[in-house]
Amino acid sequence: MSNTTALKRRIGSVKNTRQITKAMELVAASKMKRAQAQAQATREYRVSAQGILSRLAGITDVSNNPLFSVRDTKTHMVMLISSDLGLAGGYDANVFKKFTAMMKENSKHKVKTIAVGKKAGQFVSRLKEVDMASAYGMFSDHPSPADIRPAITDILKRYEEGSIDKASIIYTEFISNLTQEVRVIDLLPAKVEKQEKVSELEVAIFEPNIDEIVEDAVLRLIEVQVWQAVLESLASEYSMRMVAMKNASDNAKDIIDDLTLEYNTARQSVITQEIAEIVGGAEAVSQL
């Protein structure tokens, strides 16, 4: 009897857990749809911003701009985007694995980190060879460009002062509900793609001047790259959490089925034993 009671309690406990994981799956699915729509809507803007900067760079010497200056890398700043919460499968682990691999490849460089997300802050704080410059919680479900501006301002200031020689960002790009890939983008020094076609901007008149316009375009390009990385990371996080919670719900259902079968078997054994005892007692009475 005690065995069936314990099994019944375990079945109830697993059912409660399954209700929680199912609710988390539905919440993650709802948030993932919104984040996915945001990430896909702004991808074209990033491409267009890069194209405009390349066209501007084709009609002026951008090497005079300090944000384009290439120097020997002694200090590398990395913005690491993770989540605040767990239960998202390998989302955080994949980002941290990429960051660790980058450190091994560039072991001679001093690394400074801007951690975005509590999980990244906890991970970086355990690494003695990494200097954590600043840490931010992961942005809300509806982030705005103002949320990322302090981090961008910090990176630009350090680069212009010369305290860092290179800046990169590690994030997870959303490809589909089942596929997400960790990406590394170099923010600074700024780069432009080569334009084979002569730009029609050569005959344009710029106010106040082309150099100031290029500088402002570079700032906007860096901002949109970080902004897009945040949106891609949010979509990836919710997608991986949705899949993880679905797997957890399916596993809980399998456990419930196994425990229910075991419970029915144990219960049937108890009933059979009770019947046997009753029959045996009846035969003993009849022989008196």
The model's confidence at residue 65, banded by pLDDT at 50, 70 and 90, is confident
If one counts every other C-beta atom within 10 angstroms of the C-beta of residue 185, the result is 15
Q: What is the CATH number of the domain that holds 229?
A: 3.40.1380.10
Number of domains forming the structure of the chain: 1
Within-domain flag for 195: yes
The model's confidence at residue 61, banded by pLDDT at 50, 70 and 90, is low
pLDDT of residue 198: 44
Structure confidence by residue, pLDDT tens digits, 223-246: 888 888 999 999 999 999 999 999
**Average of per-residue pLDDT across 143-158:** 85
Helical axes 2-57 vs 210-286, angle rounded to 10°: 170
Structure confidence by residue, pLDDT tens digits, 263-284: 888 888 878 877 877 877 777 7
Within-domain flag for 250: no
> What is the CB-side half-sphere exposure of residue 41 using CA atoms within 13 A?
8
Quick check: 233 and 140 in contact, CB under 8 A?
Answer: no
By residue range, what is the domain housing residue 168?
23-243
> Cα–Cα distance between 228 and 235 in angstroms, integer?
11
Within-domain flag for 8: no
Q: Amino acid identity of 117? A: G
Within-domain flag for 269: no
Q: Give the distance, in angstroms, between the CA of residue 209 and the centroid of all CA atoms in the same chain.
A: 40
Structure confidence by residue, pLDDT tens digits, 193-224: 655 554 555 555 556 666 677 777 778 888 88
Within-domain flag for 278: no
Within-domain flag for 254: no
Structure confidence by residue, pLDDT tens digits, 14-38: 999 999 999 998 988 888 888 888 8
Within-domain flag for 264: no
Within-domain flag for 286: no
